[in-house]
Structure 1
Amino acid sequence: MLDLSALQRAVMSLEAVIGETRNETFMASLNEVQRSAFIAGAIQNFEFTYELCWKFMKRWLDLNLGSTYVEGVSRRELFRLAHQNRLIDSVDDWMLFHRARNQTSHVYDRKVADEVYSVAVRFLPDARELLQRIESKND
């Protein structure tokens, strides 16, 4: 059985910060530096939530399929196994999240930051869904 508390906290944190950044009234009340800081916070939350998601995905698969199936596999293969085991709906979406995560070291570029933020918003429902599915299968 997996201790999911770290993943639960990460998803809740991402949900909270994205909720604030999606609040147009709140964001309009901030100056440019403050808005940028909130967007950077959302990107940082996306970064560590994504990392925890794929690691918990791998742990669940390791526990339930065996390490011979998951050790040393590519990220795409890991996501394919997760899809086959009904942890995620789309391998392609998770590869998009993976590529966005790899771009987080380049968020000093405003265009890249905006792109990664958009992916983070798209990622949140998938992260929630993964958490729910792992929770339901965590025996």
Structure 2
Amino acid sequence: MSRLSVEALELAVTALEEGLREYADYPVSTMRDGVIQRFEIAMDLAWKLLQRTLKDILAINPGLIRTKEDMFRVAAEYELITNTERWLAHYEARNQTSHIYDGNLAAQVFEHIPTFLPDVRELLTRLKDAA
């Protein structure tokens, strides 16, 4: 895995954290929507890097990773993540971002984002170790 890929995730997570801090100072819906978009980008990079690590670095049989659920389960078995259920919840929250026009759903996704940060930071550490 290239360092640039891990660095891209690290930059996305840093931007997400920055967006959360800025929203705290200026809590308007457009700021919230920007934070949600940063979450979407960070989550997409996270699962793609996780998948690449499993297939290319750890040489896991692609037949074992047919769904996102399989990917998170196998990642936990290889100690890249610690909680499969939380990662599935992160992925589900990411999938809800296409419904950002729904204010209630956007608020739910936004409230979920702080639970994502410690998990993605832990993943970054483990991906760096695997690289």
Superposition TM-score, scaled by structure 2 size: 0.90
Aligned pair 1:42/2:38, yes or no? no
Q: Which residue is equivalent to 2:123?
A: 130
Bigger Rg, which one: 1
Cα root mean square deviation, aligned: 1.7
Pairwise CA distance, 1:7: 1.0
Q: Gaps spanning 5+ residues in structure 1: where?
A: none
Judge conservation of contact 1:61–1:70 (CA < 8 Å) in 2: no
Judge conservation of contact 2:65–2:74 (CA < 8 Å) in 1: no
- For residues 57-76 of structure 1, the aligned pairs below 5 Å read 57-66=50-59, 68-69=61-62, 73-76=66-69
Indicate how the Cα distance of structure 1 residues 70 and 55 shifts in structure 2: closer, same or farther if over 3 A, else same.
Answer: farther
1 CA distance for matches of 2:58 and 2:130?
13
2 CA distance for matches of 1:133 and 1:63?
15
Judge conservation of contact 1:11–1:49 (CA < 8 Å) in 2: yes
Letter in structure 2 aligned against 1:5: E
1 CA distance for matches of 2:15 and 2:100?
20
1 CA distance for matches of 2:116 and 2:65?
25
Superposition TM-score, scaled by structure 1 size: 0.85
Q: Gaps spanning 5+ residues in structure 2: where?
A: none
How many pairs are equivalent?
Answer: 129
Q: Which residue is equivalent to 2:11?
A: 9
1 CA distance for matches of 2:13 and 2:49?
12
